[in-house]
Amino acid sequence: MEKKVLLTLVILLAITNAASAIVVQGIDMDFVPIGNAGNAVDTQVMSTDGTTGYGAVAYDYYIGKYEVTNAQWEQFTTAAGAPTGNPSKAYDESMEFTGAQLPANNISWYEAAQFCNYLTSGDKSLGAYLFSGNNTNPGDFLGIDRSTAQDIYGAIYFLPTEDEWYKAAYYKPDDSGYSLFSNGTDVAPVPGIESNNRDAEMNYSPPWNVGSGSVEQNGTFDMLGNVFEYTETASGLERVIRGGAYWYSSENLASDYRWVSPAYNESGGSGFRVASVSKPQTYYVDAVNGSDNNDGLSRETAFATIQRAIDAAVDGDTVLVADGTYTGEGNRDIDFLGKAITVKSENGPESCIIDCNGSEVEPHRGFYFHSSEDANSVLSGVTIINGYVGYALGDWLAGCGGGISCMDSSPTISDCAISDNSAWYCGGGIFCEGSDSTITNCIITQTDRLMEF
């Protein structure tokens, strides 16, 4: 039996970029997702050096919401030791500006590469950037190998390529092309409000705390100034720099501004932000043998709750749920958090039961999709029972969707059994509002609408 339900009540056109705050090697990091993989190059803008055609990236990735701060740099050097190696002049400067939330500065490209390696592996010499030595003395820089690092570590951290940086700054999140400035317009930003760059009043104002200005079109801050940012991209023997620094005027913040710097250069106006990609992983959930103190990356270290596995997952990952009955906190009111992941049972709905134990006193449902999930958010092969959502004064939508609620989201739901669930207003089994969900091979039985009209 196959049943496909397409419900289109309200089409949600807005695209949101939900920031991801995580702890990496003990350092708090914030990232924003950059989607629209396979976008075209920007052919409209000619750079100051006469080149054009930047911004095409064939894959989704994450980029730092903020520039790396002095506080994060200090955490890194305290844990791993200060970067070192050859050439020695690339490692000999201290911060010119020292506030904890100011962008890390007087940083060379080599130092930034070792910071990224540390986030990836816990070792300055191991990661996407190859060095000849070890953590104590990384030695000579040898080259870049993202692919091998991803095979080894799964999630890797690196300096964005010029195209990755350019896209995050200038490509519009609605997939409609490029803007001249990262504020999403072709109008120069206002110094001191949108960006930290020079005008007649500010003159040579120093860098400001990261995030002090306005949020940019892809959820980032300070790509409109503050400090110059290194990219991974080489230009001859030098590295491409993007963005503008605090002493530069607005025209140097536009997408046509491009310059290069020696990788060993250290300047009070130079810093960086980090980008990341992940190799798809499978996280395991086991109601009997799992623990939320585990990492979920193997059957032996499975999580106890589905929500904990979703929290750990990133786009493209799979959450595989072992046989058993799942109930209690973390196994009901489950939220995909806008992630393009697959949550599926190991052996089908007969063997994997989510018991919401909902009641009038304590209402609960199985799954709540409400963060613009699309068809790449997949729920498959589970049974959902005993969901109950009751009366909510002034919010009739809260009383809809006893088993599953899809609000302004369009997930894929397949091969599920949804039974004995109740809702006050409507949708005892599944409720969809502003949704174009695809529902296949699901059996929905014994649902109850509690309100009588």
Residue 176 lies in a domain: yes
Does 313 share its domain with 176?
no
Distances (CA, A) of 198 to 180, 202, 204: 18, 6, 6
Question: Is-cis flag, bond preceding 206, omega within 30?
Answer: no
Does 347 share its domain with 434?
yes
- Tell me the angle at which helices 109-121 and 70-80 cross, rounded to the nearest 10 degrees: 70
Pairing between β-strand 352-355 and β-strand 324-326 as defined by DSSP bridges: parallel
Residue 127 lies in a domain: yes
User: What local confidence, expressed as pLDDT, does residue 453 receive?
Assistant: 44
Q: Which two tokens stand for residue 9?
A: 């009540």
Instruction: Report the distance separating Cα 453 and Cα 449, nearest Å.
Output: 10
CA 84 to chain centroid, in Å, comes to 30
Does 246 share its domain with 307?
no
Does 315 share its domain with 373?
yes
Distances (CA, A) of 55 to 112, 171, 198, 243, 298: 22, 7, 26, 14, 37
What are the two backbone dihedrals, phi and then psi, of residue 262, each rounded to the nearest 5 degrees? -60, 145
Does 54 share its domain with 172?
yes
Does 205 share its domain with 301?
no
Instruction: Report the distance separating Cα 349 and Cα 356, nearest Å.
Output: 15
Does 172 share its domain with 227?
yes
Last residue of a domain, one of 277, 299, 333: 277
Q: Please, which residues have CB within 8 angstroms of residue 392's CB and are 6 or more apart in sequence?
A: 398, 399, 424
Name the nearest CA neighbour of 419 among 369, 349, 368. Answer: 349
Find the domain containing 158 and state its range: 20-277
User: What local confidence, expressed as pLDDT, does residue 260 receive?
Assistant: 94
Does 163 share its domain with 307?
no
Q: Which two tokens stand for residue 157?
A: 């951290």
What are the two backbone dihedrals, phi and then psi, of residue 48, each rounded to the nearest 5 degrees? -60, -25
Does 128 share its domain with 190?
yes
CATH number of 418's domain = 2.160.20.10
Residue 333 lies in a domain: yes
Q: Which two tokens stand for residue 234?
A: 């080489």
Last residue of a domain, one of 277, 294, 316: 277
Beta-bridged to residue 426, according to DSSP, are 400
Residue 150 lies in a domain: yes
pLDDT tens for each residue of the chain, 453 residues long = 222 222 222 222 222 345 567 889 999 999 999 999 999 999 999 998 888 999 999 999 999 999 999 999 999 999 999 999 999 899 999 999 999 999 999 999 999 999 999 999 999 999 999 999 999 999 999 999 999 999 899 889 999 999 999 999 999 999 999 999 999 999 999 988 899 987 656 566 789 999 999 999 999 999 999 999 999 999 998 999 999 899 888 888 999 999 999 999 999 999 999 999 987 889 999 999 999 899 999 999 999 999 999 998 888 899 999 999 999 999 999 999 999 999 999 999 999 999 999 998 999 999 999 999 999 999 999 999 999 998 875 677 788 999 999 999 999 999 999 999 999 888 889 999 999 999 999 999 976 655 554
Name the nearest CA neighbour of 3 among 352, 342, 430. Answer: 430
User: What local confidence, expressed as pLDDT, does residue 390 receive?
Assistant: 85
The pTM (predicted TM-score) of the whole model is: 0.68
Residue 421 lies in a domain: yes
Residue 6 lies in a domain: no
Instruction: Report the distance separating Cα 221 and Cα 22, nearest Å.
Output: 17
- Do 213 and 165 contact (CB within 8 A), yes or no? no
Give me the amino acid identity at 222.
D
Does 273 share its domain with 329?
no
Give me the amino acid identity at 140.
D
Residue 12 lies in a domain: no
CATH number of 186's domain = 3.90.1580.10
Does 306 share its domain with 345?
yes
Total domains in the fold of the chain: 2
Does 241 share its domain with 297?
no
Last residue of a domain, one of 256, 277, 298: 277
For residues 36, 39, 44, 45, the Cα torsion angle rounded to the nearest 10 degrees is: 80
- Do 127 and 116 contact (CB within 8 A), yes or no? yes
- Tell me the angle at which helices 146-153 and 109-121 cross, rounded to the nearest 10 degrees: 30
Residue 10 lies in a domain: no
